Chain A
Amino acid sequence: MSIPVAEKKEKVSVPFDYNKYLRPNKLPHIWCPGCGHGIVLKAMLRAIDKAGLEKDNIALVSGIGCSSRTPGYVDFNTLHTLHGRALPFATGIKLAKPEMKVIVVTGDGDALAIGGNHFIHACRRNIDLTVLVFTNATYGMTGGQYSPTTPLEAMATTSRYGNIEPPFDTCEMAKASGATFVARGTAYHTIELEKTIHEALTHKGMSVVDIIDACPTYFGRANKFKSATQMMEEIEKDGTVNVKQAANLPPEKLAGKMLRGVLHKVEKPEYCEKYDILIKEKASAKK
């Protein structure tokens, strides 16, 4: 028997074939030049590929808004639903077909304002959904109104003298509501985001990933950002710290920065499994 010799691998860069998952005739997408949603979509497709999920076994559900246009461009089972109601539709799909991987793409306004109640109750149930919240801190589709994640004092078309409402922390809210996987990523840290989404996809239970990306057209213009690049560097790169690095940093260096990475991960009984057990128990008791 010959001993297998490890082949010396040469580093060959082969770009990822996005066309495998896209509906190419739908491109170019509607998002503005420099919008972070496209970067997040690409990271999501790479994460799905890495997780080895089959196209026909994925349902991508969205509500209304810029981010919710995502299902139009990808070749999965897709559903574009009512404003804020992506999670109820997704819950229905998951209960009817528990073997299906249901992914919800939603914006910050869609998930936290219009669909705020659905969000906390989906988290509370711990149903096996992967929720990607595209946080661009604005309502881009309707003209740049401030949203539940717009930072204090930030300008928007509906806060001409600066926002006086404190923003939501999506991750803290999901964690407090009972989600078993809570993470944050940014469009700037693409590879890290891909890994985070992959981890969320493989987690059993409600997984929420808050993804910070830039809206150069409305948020950027109202807040005097010169370009999408500047927004990515100042908001996403300088405004966040990886949770592992944060453990070794003094508190004054963490002031005003958001934590990135997997923030909360626990194992708890999943809703569909519990439901299945209950149905089987009751059915056997009747016989």
Chain B
Amino acid sequence: MTESAAKKLPRIVVNEKLCKGCSICVDFCPTDVLEMKGSIAAVKNLAACTRCQLCDLRCPDFAIQVFD
């Protein structure tokens, strides 16, 4: 892997129209990437994301996805 590829950050998309603020993604994120901003999930620390997709898998509202 090249140096630039190693630093490539994922893209986390939160659909604000669909997010209901249950905070499941925030609680289950193993590297603490997400936080609650009011009643909607938001990205806090993108560099820590390991692309494990747990937030996407456990989101009940089709509201969050991780793109490479």
Seen from chain A, the residues whose Cβ lies within 8 Å of a Cβ on chain B are 12-16, 18, 22, 27-29, 31-39, 42, 187-188, 190-191, 216, 227-229, 232
Contacts and interface: CB of A to CB of B under 8 A. Distances in A.
Contacts of B56: 15-16
B interface secondary structure, majority: loop
Contacts of B59: 38-39, 42
A216 B60 CA distance: 13
Interface string B1-39: 000000000100000011011111001100000000000
Given A15-B67, A28-B20, A34-B24, A190 B60 contact: no
Nearest to A13: B51
Contact of A229 (B28, B53, B65): B28
A13 B53 contact: yes
B47 interface: no
Given A22-B62, A228-B23, 4 more contacts: A39-B57, A190-B58, A191-B57, A232-B58
B58 A39 contact: yes
A14 B59 CA distance: 16
A37 B59 CA distance: 10
Given A14-B67, A14-B68, A34 B28 contact: no
Interface residues of B, number: 23
A216 B24 CA distance: 12
Contact of A37 (B10, B17, B60, B66): B60
Count chain A CB atoms within 10 A of each CB in B21, B27, B58 and give the residue with the most. B58
Contacts of A34: 20, 22-24, 60
Contacts of B61: 28-29, 31, 33, 38
B21 to A, nearest CB: 6
Nearest to A15: B65
A14 B51 CA distance: 10
A188 B24 CA distance: 11
B10 A227 contact: no
